[in-house]
Amino acid sequence: MRALDADLRLAWQFTRGADRGERWRAALTAVGAASATVFALAAVALASLRGRRSIPLADGLLDDPGTRSGVVLGLVLLLLPVLGLLGQCARIGAVHRDRRLAGLRLAGATPWQVRRIAALETGLACALGSAVATVPSVLVLLRLWDAPTAPAWAGIALVALAVPVLGATAGALALRRVVTSPLGSVRRTGPGDGRVSGLLFLSGLLLAAVAALLTAATASGAPLRSSGGPPLPLAGAVLAVGAGAVWLSGATARVVGRILAGRARSAATLIAAERLREDPWSAARTHAAVLLVTVAGTGFLGVRQVLADAVRERPDASFYLTGLNLTGAAVAIALVLTLSGLAVGTAESLAARRRGLAVQAAAGVPQSVLGRSLLLETALPLTPAVLLAGLGGTAIGVRYAALADEAVPWASALFPVAVLAACLLAAATSLPLLRRTVRPGELRYA
C-alpha cells in the first residue's frame, strides 16, 4: 500500500510537470474517460428501471423493457472503443516521458513500477474526465427523474469510481509489453505473432458451436440461458468476430508487407513494406476496430434504407426512425473514437521509432519520403481489409433487402471508401510530429 501511494505521488508530479504535448495527451484521455462515464451512466440509469415506463424521450423507444435493454447493450458496446483509445494514450504517454521514466530506472525502479506509474497517470486523467462528466449527468438525471432509486444511485457511484480504475487498468495492459531501460530507451519486448488472437477466435467459434448444440438439444425443454448475461452463442460470436478482426488485420499487414518488400519501386513503399513485414501486429487492434466499425456501419446504412422505406407510411414510423437514428449516432460515435485511437496509435508508432527515423533522416532520406511511408503503413494493410469488411456489410444490407422485398441499398457501399479516407486523414495528423521526431538530437540515443 505504501508503494502504491509513492507511485501515485510520482504520477501526480509527472502530471503537474507535463509539457504541452503531454497536456494534449492528458486532455484526450480525459475526453475519452468523460465519454465512457456518460455512456455508462446512461446505461446504469436505464438498466435500473423496471417494467414499462413512460419516458418523454426518443418517441417511446425507452418505454418498453425489451427496446430499453437493446439501448443499454448499445451503450455498453460503445465502451470498447473508448477503452482502446485510453490504452493508446497510455502507450504514447510512456514513450514521450522516457527520459523521466529512465531516471526512475536509474534510481532503482523496476520495469513494472515504471509501467504502473505511467498507468496511474492515465488513471488521474480519467478521474478528471469522470468527475467532469458525472456532475452534469447527475443534474440531467434529476431533471428527468424526480426520485432515482437506490440501485440507480449505487450504479452512478460505481461508475464514477470504476472509470478511473478501468482507465488505469487499460493503461497497464497496454504497457505490459513496453520496457524502459535505464539509459532512456523505450522499446517493445518483441513483435507479436497473432497467436493470442487466433486462439481467441477459435475459442469464440467453439463456444458458439457448443452453445448452439446445447440449445438445440434442450429445445424441447426449458430454454438454455446464461446467468444474467447475453446468450452463449451471441457471446461466442462476439468473441470470434472481435478476435478474427484483429487476426485479419495483422495477417493482411504481414502478407502485404511480404509482397511489396520485393516489388517496391519507391523508397517510401519499401520503408513501409519493411515496417509491415517486421511487425505486422503493432496496429492490429486499432485496425481491427476500424474493420468492425466498417462492417457495422455499412450493414447499418443498408438496413436503415430498407427499413425506413418499409415503415415510412406507418402511423408509428417515428418510433422506428428514432431507433434507427440512435443506432446511426452510436455508429458515428464509435467511428470518431476509432479514428481518434488510430491517430494516437500512429503518433505512438512515430515516437517509438524516432531514433530509427532520425538515423534515416541523417543518412539522407528526405522527410517527404518518410511522411509518405507513414501514410502507406496505414493505407497498404487497411485498403484490402476495409474493402473486404465493406463487402461483408453490403452483403448484410443486400440480404435484408431480399428478405423485405425492397430495393437493394447499393449506396451503403460508399461507406468503406469514406472510412478509408478518414483513416488516412487521421494518420496524417501525425505528420507534424514527424518533423520533430527526425531532429539530429535523437541520434545521441540511437
Q: pLDDT tens digits for the chain (446 residues)?
A: 666 677 777 777 766 666 666 677 778 888 888 988 998 888 888 888 877 777 767 666 777 777 778 888 888 888 878 877 777 776 665 555 666 666 777 777 777 777 777 778 778 888 899 999 999 988 888 887 777 788 888 888 899 888 888 878 877 776 665 555 555 555 555 555 555 555 555 565 565 556 555 555 554 444 444 444 445 555 555 556 666 677 777 778 888 888 887 787 888 888 888 888 887 777 777 787 888 888 888 888 888 888 887 777 777 777 778 888 888 888 888 888 888 888 887 877 777 777 788 888 888 888 888 888 888 888 888 888 888 888 888 888 888 888 777 777 777 888 999 999 999 999 898 888 787 777 766 666 55
Q: Left if phi > 0, otherwise alpha if psi is -120 to 50, otherwise beta: which for 228?
A: left
The three cell numbers locating residue 272: 513501409
**pLDDT for the residue 417:** 92
Domain ranges of the chain: 2-188, 244-445
Residue 237: per-residue pLDDT: 57
Is residue 415 within 8 Å of residue 297, measured between CB atoms? yes
* Dist. CA 433–CA 343, nearest whole Å: 11
Give me the residue label for grid cell 509518405. Answer: 372
Query: What SS3 state is found at 188?
Result: strand
Provide the pLDDT for residue 418.
92
pLDDT at residue 19, as a whole number: 63
CA angle 291, 240, 42 (to 5 degrees): 70
**Cα distances (Å, whole numbers) of residue 156 to 39, 44, 82, 377, 411:** 11, 7, 18, 42, 41
Cell numbers found for residue 246: 484483429
Residue 344 — φ and ψ, nearest 5°? Answer: -65, -40
Predicted local confidence at residue 199, as pLDDT: 57
Report residue 182 as a C-alpha cell.
Answer: 535505464
The predicted pLDDT at position 425 comes to: 92
Query: What phi, psi does 179 have (nearest 5°)?
Result: -120, 130
DSSP secondary-structure letter at 97? Answer: T
- Cα 338 to the chain's mean position, in Å? 5
pTM above threshold 0.85? no
Contact 126, 164 (CB under 8 A): yes
Query: For residue 395, what are the contacts with CB-CB under 8 A and spacing of at least 6?
Result: none
Output the pLDDT for position 225. Answer: 42
φ and ψ of 336, to 5 deg? -65, -45
pLDDT at 419 (0 to 100): 92
Residue type, 152: A
Distance of CA 85 to the CA centre of its chain: 5
Alpha-carbon distance 392 to 394, whole Å? 5
What are the cell numbers at 2?
A: 505504501
Q: How far is C-alpha 250 from the chain's CA centre? A: 16
CB atoms within 10 A of CB 139: 9
